């Protein structure tokens, strides 16, 4: 385990499926907290840098200790080789295999998971596989099945990436923007991925769940979070007006307030 002096960024090495991975991570917020660590899981094009200051602000305001990291293929973590394609089970692999190794390496026990988009799906899958291993989860704009609106928006993102300066913009947040973009875009547009559905697994979740979605989410309908509550009835729903797919950017104050209240209330 190594750290970058002064930047607050560290790197942890894990072995995954017979190969070494280096993941970048950053501790934010309080050095000590009465609450479990809050682990932030980013979206399909996200990274530590893409969260900007949301995790830091959220944790500092509420006395939480937070852990932000970039998944394999994102940020400054090990990039995905150009000829490697994610499989339909890529989020299951992150939830069931990578997260336990990361938590073990960093000494994290029974955290709260705060996931956005694909990161929200990974949080749900981890909580379903390890129901006693998490204190609770907050998921913002998660996916539990594939909808036409999701595929249409992701197809539009591909066209934008190929015809605009989107690649250079993503380069601000990823050492290898092609690794991040094509890893996410190719699998979501793979016809085999249309059958991806994690609804039945959600019934195994026993921890508290706050499921958040914007009314104007361009990547999914409110059936995504309503479906979570049908399978895990302890779920509380938070539907935000004037909010798209990224509540932490569109409605950060409302999200911070309600998520903090939910976490503290479960303590």
Q: What is the CATH T-level fold of the domain 2-265, as seen in this structure?
A: Rossmann fold (3.40.50)
What is the pLDDT confidence band of residue 3, given thresholds at 50, 70 and 90?
very low
Note the pLDDT tens digit of each residue in 168-186.
999 999 999 999 999 999 9
If pLDDT is split at 50, 70 and 90, which confidence band does 52 have? very high
Question: What pLDDT was estimated at residue 1?
Answer: 44
> What is the pTM (predicted TM-score) of this model?
0.96
Tokens of 12: 């942890």
User: Pick from 165, 185, 177, 184: which is nearest to 76 by CA?
Assistant: 177
Residue 221, pLDDT above cutoff 50: yes
193 to each of 89, 98, 146, 147, 148, how far by Cα in Å? 9, 21, 8, 11, 12
Which pLDDT score is estimated for 6?
33
Share of the chain above pLDDT 70, in %: 97
**pLDDT recorded at residue 7:** 47
Compute, in degrees rounded to 10, the torsion defined by CA atoms 203, 261, 221, 94. -60
pLDDT of residue 8: 87
Task: Give the pLDDT confidence of 89-144 residue by residue, as tens digits.
Answer: 999 999 999 999 999 999 999 999 999 999 999 999 999 999 999 999 999 999 99
């Amino acid at each position: 385990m190594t750290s970058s002096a002064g930047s607050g960024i560290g790197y942890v090495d894990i072995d995954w499926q017979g190969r070494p991975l280096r993941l970048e991570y950053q501790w934010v917020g309080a050095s000590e907290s009465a609450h479990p660590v809050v682990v932030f899981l980013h979206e399909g094009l996200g990274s530590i840098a893409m969260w900007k200051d949301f995790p830091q602000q959220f944790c500092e305001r509420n006395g939480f200790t937070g852990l932000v990291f970039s998944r394999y293929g994102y940020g400054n973590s090990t990039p995905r080789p150009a000829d490697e394609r994610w499989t339909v089970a890529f989020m299951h692999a992150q939830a069931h295999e990578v997260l336990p190794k990361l938590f073990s390496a960093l000494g994290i026990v029974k955290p709260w998971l705060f996931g956005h988009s694909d990161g929200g799906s990974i949080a749900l899958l981890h909580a379903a596989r390890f129901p006693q291993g998490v204190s609770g989860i907050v998921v913002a704009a998660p996916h539990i099945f594939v909808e036409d609106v999701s595929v249409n928006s992701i197809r539009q993102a591909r066209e934008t990436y190929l015809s605009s300066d989107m690649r250079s913009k993503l380069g601000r947040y990823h050492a290898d923007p092609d690794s991040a973009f094509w890893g996410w875009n190719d699998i979501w547009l793979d016809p085999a991925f249309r059958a991806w559905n994690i609804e039945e697994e959600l019934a195994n979740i026993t921890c508290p769940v706050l499921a958040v979605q914007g009314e104007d989410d361009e990547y999914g309908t409110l059936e995504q979070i309503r479906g979570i509550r049908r399978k895990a009835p302890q779920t509380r729903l938070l539907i935000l007006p004037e909010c798209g797919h990224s509540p932490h950017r569109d409605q950060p104050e409302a999200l911070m307030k309600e998520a903090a209240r939910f976490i503290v209330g479960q303590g």
